[in-house]
Every structure is written in C-alpha cells, then in structure tokens.
Amino acid sequence: MSAEAYDRVVRAWLFPLCVIAMWGPACAGPEGPPGEEGQRGAQGLQGIPGPAGPAGQVPAAISAVQPLSVFAGRVVSVLISGTGTQFDQTTVVDFGADIDVDSVVVASPAALSVSLFVRPTAALGPRDILVQTGEDDPLTFAGAFTLAAPVSLLADPPEVPQGSHVDVTVVMHDPDTPFSALSPPTVGLGAGSLGEVLAVSAQTVDVRLYADVLAATGPVALSLSAPLGDGTSESLLPEAVTIAPRVPTELTAGVPVSATLPADGGNHVYALSAPVGTAVHAALPAGTGASVRLLDDSGRFDTATPAGLTASRPTPDTGTVYAVVEDTTGLGGPAYTLNTAALNLVAEQEPNNDLGSAQVITGPALLTGAIDAAGDGDFFSLNHAGGALTVSTLATDDEACGPDGPIDTYIELLDEQGTPIATNEDAGGNWCSSVMFPSLEAGTYVVWVVASPTYCPACAFGYRLSVISE
C-alpha cells in the first residue's frame, strides 16, 4: 500500500472514532495542569502635571562689585549688585577703615551706586564690604575688593643710610592722575625732607629722596602730592625705602679732618660741634672733587646750606650742626680735607649806609643782615691781619640766593679811603656775591652790600655775610 492510500484509510477510520469520542466519556483523557502566568502588561500613561507650588525663597547676597580694585588716595564710584536683596533708603555700606562712604544711591532693590573717598593711608590689599538694610543681618562681600597703591618704584632702592639720599623713579599706575611737568608732584620720604624732582613725564617722575641724618630707621613710606582740579591727589607707597642707621662722625670746629669718600658714591656725615653764640664754617680746598653743606641740629636736608666748597651757618643752641660731604665728580672716591672754624656771629646794626657809619665787625665772622628797602646799602668795616680773605653773601634759613630765592646782591670791597679794590655781582652759580683774595696785606677794609643795581635795584631781602680770613 502506498503512503497515500494508507493515509486515506487512517482518515476514514479515525474521523468516526473521534465523533463517537465527543459523546462518550470512555473516550476523554485526564485534565491537564494550569498554564503559566502571563507576562506583565506595558506601563500606563504618565499622569497630568500637578498644580504650581508656592514661590521659592532666594537667599539675599552681594553678587558683584564693580570695579573690584581701586587706588588708595582717590575718590571712586563703585556699583554693588545683589541677588534676593531689597536695598532701600535704609541701606548702609561699610568698606572698612580709612574708606569714607560719601553717598549711597539705591538704583534698584538689587543695585547700589556708592561714592567713596579712599584715604591715602588706607591699608592696601583685599578687604570685606558689608551692606546692611534696615534690621536685616549685614551681607558680606568677603575679600574680593582690593585697594592698590597708585604708584610704585621702578626698581627697589638699596638701603639708604641716614644722612644720605637716593635717586628713584616713581611709576604712576592711575591713568586718571598722570604726572605733569607743569605742576610736578611734591615727593617726600617718611616725615623727613622733601625730595628733589629731577625729571617728570606723564607716567614717571625721577626724584632724589633724602634720608635725614636723624630720620627714623627701617621701612618708610614714599608720599606724593600733586595738584588735581581744585585740590590735590595724594599717593602713598608704604615701606618704599629702608633707611639704615648711621652714626655721624664727631668733629670739633677748628680741627681739620682728612678722608676719602667711598667709591660707590656714598657720602660722609659729621656731627660738628662749636660754641653756642658762634657760627660754624666748613670749607674744602679748591679743586676738591667734593662738596660740603651744613644742616642744622634737626639733621634735615631741607635746612641744608647749598652744596659747595664752603658753608656757614649760626651754631644752634645744641651746639651741633651736621656737615655732609659728597662726591661731585660722579666717579666716587675723592680724597678731601675738611677745614672747620667757629666764627663770630654778628647781627647787622643800622644805620650803616655810608663809609662813615660802617659797622665794625671782628673777623672771621658770619653776619646776619638785610637790605630793608630799595636803596638800602650796608657798610661793614673790618681789620684784616693779612693773608687770605674771602667775603661772601649767603642764603639765610628762610631765603635762598636767586634764582631759587629773592636774594640778589652786589658787593664791593673798599680800602680804608673808600676806593673799590674788588667787586662782584654773582658768584658760585647763583645771584649771591663773593670776592676772594688769596693774599691781602694787613689793614682796614670796608665791605659794601647792596641789592644788585643792574638786575634788582628795588629788591629787599635778608642775607648773611661771611668774612673768612686765614
């Protein structure tokens, strides 16, 4: 039987059996086990959004300050921004010591415009800003606001010994306050003598700073003051220069001293003592590559006589003046001999307006006189023992020889008969006068002092007259 025929036979027999089985239990099998649990259904749809929550609370804070850095010694405007703040008319601002808050403008609940004056002495570096509104706790902007020095030195100077000076270049960093040659700054070192301005540009000033003989030692501040509008701008550089201690060499008037200046351009300082009631005179021989000047007992350079080969000044009540000897060659190291003397200190006595009323002075002497009015002439008579004689008009403590000051003298040296034997208009690089004889025979001579008949006949001024004989 073929497969096809066999299949046909099976179908013919099985179909009726299955029909019978549907009706007869003898034909059903046992019940099968339950099927496995079905798979988890897919996730449901997202729910609809809930209602809006209550408004959030942003903590109040200072979020920004503009600018973050300002120069000391200046009036500045600063913008303070906040987040979550409620600035109002009760808002106060504190920038710390030495910063004056001149005005606070509430631009908005989150912005303040503040006008400040930062004192020149205010401590430099970062500092905190405190902002308080009403009774609220103050808000702090910590450490991000900085005070900067408006000036600096181009190079750190070496230590400056007491009684000396140093040249420095000061750089201006504040573009709003450039230097001006027309109104150069006044420069000082600590509480001492003012510096000498040597050159000025918009960004820099070259200045000679003086460390007075008795200046405080250690780091000292450099101060600059310059005209600005109706006022002045003040700039301070703390600890700009270090002043080193130095003890002046003791010296008694009348005792010469010989020494050699150091090769590095350093100077020598003497504490020169002379009897009270006299005047002190110091002199270097002609041709010495050095200069001398005399400072009063304060040791301040702003009391110094002009630097030159000679200097004279009244002895103070302390009996001590300071003599500073410096190199003038620029090469350093010249040897010198400093001669000193105590002079008679004489005050002029009017009338002395003609030969017959000449005031007799005993030399060597330092006389303090005055051209009191236009046309005043002062005659002084002296007995010269022979030898060198030098007669010079000099600056006073208050007035300098021209062109730096009002003194403009003309002098004549006359013999006993009133015949001029020497005259001088200007000597020593200024408008004071001097006549010098390396050797002059003994005799009575007369000195005549007037305001310069050529340049300043109507001038009035005080003066000193030194009469030095050897």
State which residue, 178 or 351, has the beta carbon closest to Ca ion. 351
Q: How far is CA 416 from CA 16, 67, 251, 413, in A?
A: 184, 79, 38, 10
The two three-digit tokens of residue 180, written as one number: 């001006």
Query: How many Å apart are CA 440 and CA 469, to the nearest integer?
Result: 10
State which residue, 189 or 432, has the beta carbon closest to Ca ion. 432
Smallest separation (angstroms) from Ca ion to the CB of 425:
19
The answer to whether the CB of 70 falls within 8 A of the CB of 118 is yes
Of 94-102, 335-343, 357-365, 370-378, the segment contacting Ca ion by CB under 5 A is 370-378
State which residue, 265 or 377, has the beta carbon closest to Ca ion. 377
Of 237-245, 354-362, 367-375, 424-432, the segment contacting Ca ion by CB under 5 A is 367-375
Residue from 315, 352, 359, 433 touching Ca ion (CB under 5 A): that is 352
72: left (phi over 0), alpha (psi -120 to 50) or beta: beta
State which residue, 71 or 463, has the beta carbon closest to Ca ion. 463
Smallest separation (angstroms) from Ca ion to the CB of 305:
21
Of 12-20, 115-123, 140-148, 346-354, the segment contacting Ca ion by CB under 5 A is 346-354
Sheet of 290-295: strand order equals 249-252, 268-273, 320-327, 290-295
State which residue, 280 or 413, has the beta carbon closest to Ca ion. 413
Query: How many Å apart are CA 400 and CA 177, to the nearest integer?
Result: 32
What is the helix (H) or strand (E) element at residue 11, kind and residue range? helix 3-23
Smallest separation (angstroms) from Ca ion to the CB of 379:
7
State which residue, 88 or 372, has the beta carbon closest to Ca ion. 372
Of 23-31, 321-329, 365-373, 387-395, the segment contacting Ca ion by CB under 5 A is 365-373
Smallest separation (angstroms) from Ca ion to the CB of 343:
19
Q: Is 234 a binder of Ca ion (CB under 5 A)? A: no
State which residue, 266 or 377, has the beta carbon closest to Ca ion. 377
Closest residue to bound Ca ion by CB = 378
Smallest separation (angstroms) from Ca ion to the CB of 450:
9
Smallest separation (angstroms) from Ca ion to the CB of 357:
9
Query: How many Å apart are CA 270 and CA 275, to the nearest integer?
Result: 16
Residue from 353, 368, 381, 444 touching Ca ion (CB under 5 A): that is 353
What b/e string do you get for 63-91 counting C-beta neighbours within 10 Å, with b at 16 or more? eebeeeebbbbbeeebebbbeebebeeeb
Q: Is 378 a binder of Ca ion (CB under 5 A)? A: yes
Query: How many Å apart are CA 450 and CA 262, to the nearest integer?
Result: 42
Query: How many Å apart are CA 316 and CA 300, to the nearest integer?
Result: 14
The two three-digit tokens of residue 116, written as one number: 């400040």
Smallest separation (angstroms) from Ca ion to the CB of 354:
9
Q: Is 381 a binder of Ca ion (CB under 5 A)? A: no
Tell me which residue of 180, 161, 183, 448 sits closest to 326, measured CA to CA.
161
The answer to whether the CB of 78 falls within 8 A of the CB of 70 is yes
Site string for Ca ion, 183-222 (x = CB under 5 A): ----------------------------------------
Count of beta carbons in the 10 Å neighbourhood of residue 419:
9
The answer to whether the CB of 261 falls within 8 A of the CB of 175 is no
Q: Is 376 a binder of Ca ion (CB under 5 A)? A: yes
Q: Is 242 a binder of Ca ion (CB under 5 A)? A: no
| Number of residues lying near Ca ion (CB under 5 A) | 5
Q: Given the rule CB under 5 A, which residues bind Ca ion?
A: 352-353, 370, 376, 378
